[in-house]
């Protein structure tokens, strides 16, 4: 069976910097369009917006005066209907899920969502410090923000575990995670192919490929240039997906209209989702985006039913 080419781009990528960064949502978009269809879509966006800019980005579509163009792009009868897909990641939920998976024996997604929903109410300001400390202790070379040693981190875990309620009970299950953290850090230092558990990019790419190959058609990914998708990680994607992934190649988004359209979708999806996450959501845009969002997104709320 001949593979189908899926053009991809992302928005909100800050690597392993999940908390305290510039963005709180990561979005990865995949577009199934022919080059001709994508060029026609970009031309129509340019015509409707009328800006003299040489390169259009999602920010053009997100300006209030271009709201009709954005609604047209996401409309069920619009150019992306059936051709676009977005995997969303709430970065804080992703960090909490990583903590539960790595630190708690038999940790579950339900446990992660319970802690994510109740952490701030249970621990107050120490919740933010816990998240920053966890992401710090898992990174070999933290570049900014809180820098915490494993000993300091597990001392904090011990304190928070004394908090009454479900959140404190879940935290108590992290106390014995020291050996798992040490083993993870050792693997990360020794093997460049290890995908950092705090980087949402590779999991999002996996979900994108699984979506477009669900009918058995193999997928050839055309991705905007992305340093985090190293040769070792591409090999790992192939090992995980088998024949569902026919290959990955990288292009400059300016040279491929399909990737430009993926950039549009990823950028507007991240902004719409971030507004929703921060209780500033636009009902109309949220409803329009919903049909594009992967059901396996790392999300808790609108867009994804649990």
Q: CB 87: neighbour CB atoms within 10 A? A: 30
Model confidence pLDDT, tens digit, residues 231-274:
888 988 999 999 999 999 999 888 899 999 999 999 999 999 99
What pLDDT score was predicted for residue 142? 64
Burial of 306 (0-12, 13-18, 19+ CB in 10 A): exposed
Burial of 277 (0-12, 13-18, 19+ CB in 10 A): buried
Q: CB 48: neighbour CB atoms within 10 A? A: 15
Residue with tokens 């609108």: 302
Task: Quote the tokens at residue 138.
Answer: 């898992």
Choose among 27, 2, 28: nearest CA to 213: 2
Task: Report strand pairing: 219-224 vs 4-11.
Answer: parallel
Task: Quote the tokens at residue 44.
Answer: 């129509």
Model confidence pLDDT, tens digit, residues 200-226:
999 999 999 999 999 999 999 999 998
- What pTM was estimated for this model as a whole? 0.94
Which of 135-173 are b and which e, b meaning 16 or more Cβ less than 10 Å from the residue's Cβ?
bbbbbeebeeebebebeebbebbeebbebeeebbebbbb
């Amino acid at each position: 069976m001949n593979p189908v080419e899926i053009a991809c781009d992302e928005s909100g990528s800050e690597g392993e910097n999940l908390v305290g960064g510039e963005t709180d949502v990561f979005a990865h978009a995949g577009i199934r369009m022919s080059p001709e269809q994508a060029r026609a879509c970009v031309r129509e966006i340019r015509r409707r917006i009328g800006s003299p800019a040489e390169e259009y980005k999602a920010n053009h579509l997100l300006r209030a005066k271009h709201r009709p163009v954005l609604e047209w792009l996401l409309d069920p009868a619009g150019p992306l209907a059936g051709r676009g897909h977005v995997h969303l990641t709430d970065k804080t939920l992703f960090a909490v899920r990583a903590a539960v998976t790595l630190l708690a024996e038999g940790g579950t997604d339900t446990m992660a969502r319970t802690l994510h929903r109740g952490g701030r109410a249970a621990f107050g300001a120490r919740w933010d410090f816990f998240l920053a400390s966890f992401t710090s202790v898992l990174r070999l070379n933290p570049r900014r923000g809180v820098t915490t040693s494993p000993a300091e981190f597990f001392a904090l875990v011990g304190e928070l575990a004394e908090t009454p309620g479900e959140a404190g009970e879940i935290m108590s299950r992290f106390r014995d995670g020291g050996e798992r953290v040490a083993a993870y850090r050792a693997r990360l230092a020794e093997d460049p192919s290890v995908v950092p558990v705090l980087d949402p990019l590779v999991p999002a790419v996996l979900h994108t490929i699984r979506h477009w190959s669900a009918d058995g058609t193999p997928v050839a990914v055309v991705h905007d240039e992305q340093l985090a998708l190293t040769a070792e990680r591409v090999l790992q994607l192939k090992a995980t997906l088998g024949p569902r992934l026919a290959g990955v190649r990288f292009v400059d988004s300016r040279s491929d209209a399909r990737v430009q359209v993926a950039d549009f979708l990823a950028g507007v999806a991240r902004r719409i989702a971030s507004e929703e996450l921060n209780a500033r959501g636009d009902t109309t845009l949220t409803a329009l985006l919903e049909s594009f969002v992967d059901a396996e997104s790392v999300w808790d709320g609108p867009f994804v039913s649990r």
